[in-house]
A = this chain, B = another copy of it.
Amino acid sequence: MGGARSSAAGRKEPIERQPVGEGLGGLLRKAARLMARNGFHGASMRDLAKVTGRSLSGLYHYARSKEDLLYLINFHGFTTLVEHGRARGMAFRGPREKLRGFISFHVRYFAAHRDEMRVLMWGTQALSDERARTIRNLKDRYTAILREIVRNVCRSAAKGPVSEKSIDRKTFLLFGMMNWIYGWYSAARHGAPEELAEEIYRTFLYGLSGRRRERRKFPAQEVAPLWN
């Protein structure tokens, strides 16, 4: 404890300011894996220390409690999503390309980080009010990015005006298609994440009755690691 870096026990800085290097990154990944398997209440700090290969006091250096760990998994998960969501919005020019880029990143990211995804799905019930607000704020920012993309695709694709209420609903329906995969998707049975992302993109844009094929192939992109 103590040392060059301020420890969790004696820290004055908020814990989310800790650099997400090899140490914290690996720790959060392993903590998410155990929590995803045993549930939040089924994973003790002692178990978490064990699976992360640390002593209890070594774990306390990063997090004083399970709630700290849950918060860090949420904070860094949604921060990464917001940053990449925004980057996808800027990297492509047309509304449909932006939509495709966003779906591609979100789906491949979630497919690659399923334990973290399951933990993010739990919501903020176990967090303090202030931390819950911070996470909700990040989620709202992420939703707003996709909502803007969906609005622009609607403007260019739909004949006739689309109400703001309908754009809201469609944005959440798209999140539903993408997020629900944590409960059913397996690459072996349902195809590679890129194939799944393309299916979501085409279903959302054209529906079951759509005939058109995109001329360009779905963009191949690297999935950013979750924690650094």
Contact = CB atoms under 8 A, between A and B. Distances in A.
A221 interface: no
A contact residues, range: 35 or more
**Dominant secondary structure at the A interface:** helix
A208 to B, nearest CB: 5
Number of copies: 2
Interface in A174-227: 175-181, 183-185, 189-191, 196, 199-200, 202-211
28 contacts: A41-B41, A41-B42, A153-B208, A157-B209, A158-B208, A158-B209, A158-B211, A159-B211, A165-B190, A166-B199, A169-B190, A169-B196, A172-B184, A172-B190, A173-B177, A173-B180, A173-B203, A176-B179, A176-B180, A176-B181, A177-B177, A179-B180, A180-B180, A203-B207, A204-B207, A205-B208, A206-B206, A206-B209
